[in-house]
Amino acid sequence: MSQDDIRERFDLNRRQLVQSLGVAGVAGLAGCAGGGGDTTTTTGGEEDTPTPEDSTPTPASADEVQMGGELIATFGADVANFDPTRANDTTSSKAFGLVYEPLMGTDFSGAPQPVLDRRGEQKDEELAWRATLREGVTFHNGDEMTAEDVKASWERYEGTPREADVYDWYDSSTIVDDYTIDFTLQNKYAPLKFALGGVPIVPKAVADGDIALKDDPIGTGPYVFDEHQPDTLFRIQRNEDYWFTGSDDMPEMPPIETITFRIIVEQSAQLAALQAGDVDMINTVPAASYQDLKDNEDFTVTERTAGGFDLLAFPMAVTPYDNAKVRRGVSRLIPRDAIVESVYQGIGTPATSPISPLAGQFTSPEFNQEMGDKYLGYDTEKAMTLLEEGFNEAGVEKPFQTKIITNENPQRVKWAQLIQESLNSTEYFEIELEQFEWNTYVGKILAEDSNQQNNLIAVGWSAGWDADAYIHNLFYSETFTPACCNIPHYKSEEVDSMIEQGLQTYDLEERKQIYQDLMEKVCEDAPITYIRFGKEMDAFRSDAVKGFQTYPINSGEFNGIYSPSASAFTYVDK
Amino acid sequence: MSLQRYLVKRLLVTVPVLFGVSLLTFSLVELLPGNVIDFILQFQEATPELRAQLEAQYNLDEPVYVRYWLWLQDAVFFDFGDSVISDRSVSVALAQRLPNTLLLGLLGFIIAVGIGIPLGVISAVKNGELTDEVSRVAALLGIATPNFWLGLMLLLVFSVQLGWFRVIPPDRALLSAPMLKFTILPAITLGTASSALIMRLTRSSMVEQLNKDYVRTARAKGLPERTVILKHVLRNSLISVVTVAALQIAFLVDGAVVVEQVFSWPGVGRLLISAITQRDFPIIQAVVLMIATTIVFANLLADIAYSWLDPRIRY
């Protein structure tokens, strides 16, 4: 397969990087997990996904649920756009996550689950798939959902800013009958089920131009859009005609009648609103208040390891950063434990490999530790040896003058300072730190010559459940900046080939091995090094909110409010 | 020249000023780093066809002067096009936020003037006494305290600890009692720095006037001290205060960004900030033009106030 073929299929997703810089962005995968009745039907062998250990409260029990009431939660930004083909920010995805539903969703352990597609099965050929739709599902405008709506929902992405969400994998589709649609992929695509989860199904009338989603979001989800007051609130009401018929552990209808999301930009104001009782739940917990909130029994903090990491990228065209020993030497001087403790108040875990433990099918905390021990973890003795050898091989005089650059994210600046201090304490480096306004920064790090400037680049990366999202755009040789995010311009035929294989291998065990080999190779070569895996967190009033669990993917943060496919629901008691 | 003629002349002058401002705004937005299409796509890689289509949609494929001309034609009718991020009408977005900002600005101004001028007068009359010293220190603190910090402190004390106010605006109509009650803290936050400024200015200006001959004459002819201070001295002192106060109107209306963030107030400032970070150029242009208009009209107001305060001033 030619490189061009591969490239065409891949979503060169710079949003992941931009999002990590602290601006509006979206996690492309698993954006809209919703409900699903046949929750026992799991496909693709992913059902044994290990769940990352985190503190989450006991899920609500269907026996004690209280129906009705209003939940007042928060968004950290306004909802920009209700149309999924136009919305590029996580807040919008969170807002319509309970209004729209996709064919497939992803549960809290990362297993794809059927939502509107009853089975989510593969046909006999590798590129041919069949979706068997639930019958009797109606949109919020009363129309029944059929295969025509699914086809129209996919094809309306063409020529929109979110085109890649569908056209990275979709080739064509044929409507078999009202509830069956066959579709063909352009190429084998292992993360397909996650990709399906990012494409909400909307009425065909939207594609025909008869409904404008930007004003009137209409889906099949458990909640119906009620009102949006810009910069003030976004309100949804329970869908009284929701298709789910209930199960032993799930009520047939969302318990909470009204959900009002108040838009509060300031983290400290969110916290104050929670403490004053103006809201029941907040979606950003300031690190400085994390422990206080946890210690206070009036509040519950839920947290999950998130899909993403902070990183430091090396400009590999600059000597001595063209030497892997120097890169690993620098990595071994990064005090990750101290960073997690002092900068993030203990929230998160040190990262020494590129895939978050969230994607537990592909990695584990032990594997991360192993990569740290072997290649990248903090070890000043090994660092000195590596740097001595590296500097000699590169023929560079010490101290080498260089810079760490970052945007104005306060926490990122702090950890960059700790790295600066650590490197400056050796005889090898004289490092300065430089901060940029984010627009300028994005331009700088995605510039064609990002690998030629004498700058160590401090940035973050966000991904999700699938391994490819952590690896592809950072290490593939076709994704050099400015096309995407291979900032060091790292090129390895072996890695390229493994990335391609990883995308096309459907067998989970085989795929896991590919990504572990791949991770080992990029840890050894160290074009970038990793700092910390973050966490998603929510905090709520313990007496008022019951059963809520934090979803680890930011764009699906409120899936825990009601998601039959994930057997999750929340109720209020106040 | 009579005041009426002067006003007509001033109003006519505002036309080229606003035209210049619009040209400047448009050019500055052009000069912002980053390609608008990248922001619309949120830096997602896109085919050249898609980029071209988006450029055509927002007239970005036209030369700058053509785009300016197209924009200006609509802008004179208050049609600023659609946001490139939300696809919604910019005029509607502005109209939704403007009443909120005006209300907060007005309350902030009332606090600024209502505290600033009386304190300035007292301070000047009690020149050198303890009251004066305390007022001056308080004014210095008021100027030095960052809005952001003051707002958060007020929230923590009066909303979280004492529970007297809500942290976020109630879901009520703008002029309803709960909403007006809510605006007290943001208005204090907003008005504090301005009131301190106005206080210091009133004080210094009055101290200067108090040493003038006409004051001695007024006192000598037996006018009560109250009349001397409030009718003669204050009125003469206010000329310079009015200039600053008028500009403070513009500042309070347009400079409420930080306060709007802290108190989750859905005003124009927040709209502008999010538009700038997302390079939502139709909104940036409209809001900056609006701010410029406020400043122009605040100056006009100051000029009118001059002639009312000092009948000798004629244009």
Contacts of B41 in chain A (CB under 8 A): 88, 161
Mean pLDDT, residues B50-65 taken together: 83
Q: Which tokens is A306 given? A: 């998130």
Q: Are B261 and B5 in contact (CB under 8 A)?
A: no
Q: Torsion-angle region of residue A481: left (phi > 0), alpha (psi -120 to 50) or beta?
A: beta
B262/A266 Cβ within 8 A? yes
- Across A12-16, A35-39, A213-217, which has the greatest mean pLDDT? A213-217
The conformation of residue A343, written as its DSSP 8-state character, comes to: I
Give the count of beta carbons closer than 10 Å to the beta carbon of residue B145: 16
According to DSSP, the residues that pair with A73 across neighbouring strands are: A261
How far is Cα B132 from Cα A261, in angstroms, rounded to an integer? 48
Give the count of beta carbons closer than 10 Å to the beta carbon of residue A341: 13
Q: Using 50, 70 and 90 to split pLDDT, how confident is the model at A355?
A: very high
Note the pLDDT of residue A52: 41
- Greater confidence (A389 vs B32) lies with A389
Note the pLDDT of residue A435: 94
- In Å, how far is B97's CA from the nearest CA of chain A? 8
Nearest to A269 among B45, B264, B271 (CB): B264
Tens of pLDDT, residue by residue over B162-173, are 999 999 999 988
> Is A25 at the interface with chain B, CB within 8 A?
yes
- Greater confidence (B155 vs B299) lies with B155
A262/B159 Cβ within 8 A? no
Q: Which of A531-535, B136-140, B157-161 has the lowest average pLDDT?
A: B136-140
How far is Cα A174 from Cα A166, in angstroms, rounded to an integer? 16
> Is A14 at the interface with chain B, CB within 8 A?
yes
Note the pLDDT of residue A34: 28
Q: Which tokens is A52 given? A: 């990352």
- In Å, how far is B264's CA from the nearest CA of chain A? 5
CA-to-CA separations, A520 to A33, A342, A515, A517, in angstroms, rounded: 32, 29, 8, 5
Give the count of beta carbons closer than 10 Å to the beta carbon of residue A11: 24
Note the pLDDT of residue A425: 96
Contacts of B278 in chain A (CB under 8 A): 23-24, 80
Q: Which of A534-548, B41-55, B92-106, B167-181 has the lowest average pLDDT?
A: B41-55
Q: Are A80 and B279 in contact (CB under 8 A)?
A: no
Note the pLDDT of residue A42: 29
How far is Cα A140 from Cα A153, in angstroms, rounded to an integer? 15
Note the pLDDT of residue A200: 95
b/e burial code for range B54-83 (CB count within 10 A of at least 16 → b): bbeebebeeeeeebbeebeeebeeeebbbb
Q: What is the ipTM of this complex?
A: 0.82
Mean pLDDT, residues A36-50 taken together: 32
How far is Cα A478 from Cα A455, in angstroms, rounded to an integer? 22
How far is Cα B180 from Cα B166, in angstroms, rounded to an integer? 11
CA dihedral B197, B198, B201, B202 (to 10 degrees): -150
Max distance between CA atoms of chain B, in angstroms, equals 86
How far is Cα A336 from Cα A332, in angstroms, rounded to an integer? 9
Do the strands A568-569 and A562-563 form a parallel or antiparallel pair, or are they unpaired?
A: antiparallel
How far is Cα A85 from Cα A538, in angstroms, rounded to an integer? 28
Q: Is the pLDDT of residue A518 over 70?
A: yes
CA-to-CA separations, A120 to A44, A115, A197, A249, B195, in angstroms, rounded: 9, 9, 11, 23, 66
Note the pLDDT of residue A319: 92
Note the pLDDT of residue A15: 53
Tens of pLDDT, residue by residue over A168-194, are 899 999 999 999 999 999 998 999 989
pLDDT, mean over chain B: 85
- Greater confidence (B40 vs B202) lies with B202
Mean pLDDT, residues A480-496 taken together: 91
Q: Is the pLDDT of residue A284 over 70?
A: yes
Picking from B264, B265, B274, B279 by the largest number of A CB atoms within 10 A of its own CB, the best residue to mutate is B264
The conformation of residue A123, written as its DSSP 8-state character, comes to: -
ω into residue B282 within 30 of 0, thus cis? no
Note the pLDDT of residue A177: 94
Tens of pLDDT, residue by residue over A187-241, are 989 999 899 999 999 999 999 999 999 888 999 999 999 999 989 999 999 999 9
CA-to-CA separations, B298 to B19, B98, B158, B269, in angstroms, rounded: 17, 16, 33, 18
Q: Which of A243-257, A535-549, B41-55, B60-74 has the lowest average pLDDT?
A: B41-55
Mean pLDDT, residues A492-520 taken together: 95
Note the pLDDT of residue B255: 60
Q: Using 50, 70 and 90 to split pLDDT, how confident is the model at A524?
A: very high
Note the pLDDT of residue A125: 65
Q: Using 50, 70 and 90 to split pLDDT, how confident is the model at A543?
A: very high
Q: Using 50, 70 and 90 to split pLDDT, how confident is the model at A574?
A: confident
Q: Are B45 and A9 in contact (CB under 8 A)?
A: no
Chain A, window 142-171: residues with a beta carbon less than 8 angstroms from a chain B beta carbon: 159-164
Give the count of beta carbons closer than 10 Å to the beta carbon of residue A286: 16
pLDDT, mean over chain A: 86
Picking from A75, A259, A278, A407 by the largest number of B CB atoms within 10 A of its own CB, the best residue to mutate is A278
Q: Using 50, 70 and 90 to split pLDDT, how confident is the model at A123?
A: low
Note the pLDDT of residue B315: 59
Q: Is the pLDDT of residue B91 over 80?
A: yes
Q: Which tokens is A145 given? A: 């959902």
> Is A214 at the interface with chain B, CB within 8 A?
yes
Q: Are A88 and A161 in contact (CB under 8 A)?
A: yes
Note the pLDDT of residue A382: 96
Note the pLDDT of residue A377: 96
Q: Using 50, 70 and 90 to split pLDDT, how confident is the model at A437?
A: confident
How far is Cα A196 from Cα A99, in angstroms, rounded to an integer? 16
Question: What's the half-sphere exposure (Cβ side, CA atoms, 13 Å) at B162?
Answer: 7
- In Å, how far is A25's CA from the nearest CA of chain B? 7
Phi, psi of A481 (to 5 degrees): -60, 145
Question: What's the half-sphere exposure (Cβ side, CA atoms, 13 Å) at A215?
Answer: 7
What are all long-range contacts of B1-5, with beta carbons under 8 Å and residues at least 24 apart?
Answer: B1/B314, B1/B315, B2/B314, B3/B304, B3/B307, B3/B314, B3/B315, B5/B315
- In Å, how far is A159's CA from the nearest CA of chain B? 6
Q: What percent of chain A has pLDDT over 90?
A: 67
DSSP string, A225-292: EEEEETTTEEEEEE-TT-S---BTTB-SS-S-SEEEEEE---HHHHHHHHHHTS-SEES---HHHHHH
Nearest chain B residue to A90 by CA: give it.
B42
Q: Are A116 and A103 in contact (CB under 8 A)?
A: yes
Q: Using 50, 70 and 90 to split pLDDT, how confident is the model at B241?
A: confident
- Using DSSP, state whether A518 is helix, strand or coil: helix
Q: What percent of chain A has pLDDT over 70?
A: 88
Tens of pLDDT, residue by residue over A440-468, are 788 788 888 889 999 999 999 988 899 99
Query: CB within 8 A of A173, min separation 6: which ones?
Result: A150, A151, A154, A181, A182, A183, A184
CA-based nearest residue to A20, from A304, A451, A438, A453: A438
Interface of B with A (CB under 8 A): 32-34, 40-47, 49-50, 53-54, 85-88, 93, 96-97, 152, 155-156, 159-160, 163, 166-169, 171, 261-264, 266-267, 270-271, 274, 277-279
Q: Are A235 and A261 in contact (CB under 8 A)?
A: yes
Q: Is the pLDDT of residue A433 over 50?
A: yes
Q: Are A404 and A458 in contact (CB under 8 A)?
A: yes
Contacts of B35 in chain A (CB under 8 A): none
Q: What is the pTM of this model?
A: 0.84
Q: Is the pLDDT of residue B9 over 90?
A: no
CA-to-CA separations, A431 to A77, A399, A419, A423, A473, in angstroms, rounded: 36, 9, 9, 7, 28
Picking from A231, A274, A480 by the largest number of B CB atoms within 10 A of its own CB, the best residue to mutate is A231
> Is A81 at the interface with chain B, CB within 8 A?
yes
Q: Is the dihedral of CA A153, A155, A157, A159 positive or negative?
A: negative
Q: Using 50, 70 and 90 to split pLDDT, how confident is the model at A333?
A: very high
How far is Cα B116 from Cα B195, in angstroms, rounded to an integer? 4
b/e burial code for range A384-397 (CB count within 10 A of at least 16 → b): bebbeebbeebebe
How far is Cα A171 from Cα A214, in angstroms, rounded to an integer? 27
Q: Using 50, 70 and 90 to split pLDDT, how confident is the model at A82?
A: very high
Q: Which of A57-71, A238-252, A358-372, B100-114 has the lowest average pLDDT?
A: A57-71
Phi, psi of B141 (to 5 degrees): -60, -45
Question: What's the half-sphere exposure (Cβ side, CA atoms, 13 Å) at B100?
Answer: 28
Note the pLDDT of residue A381: 95
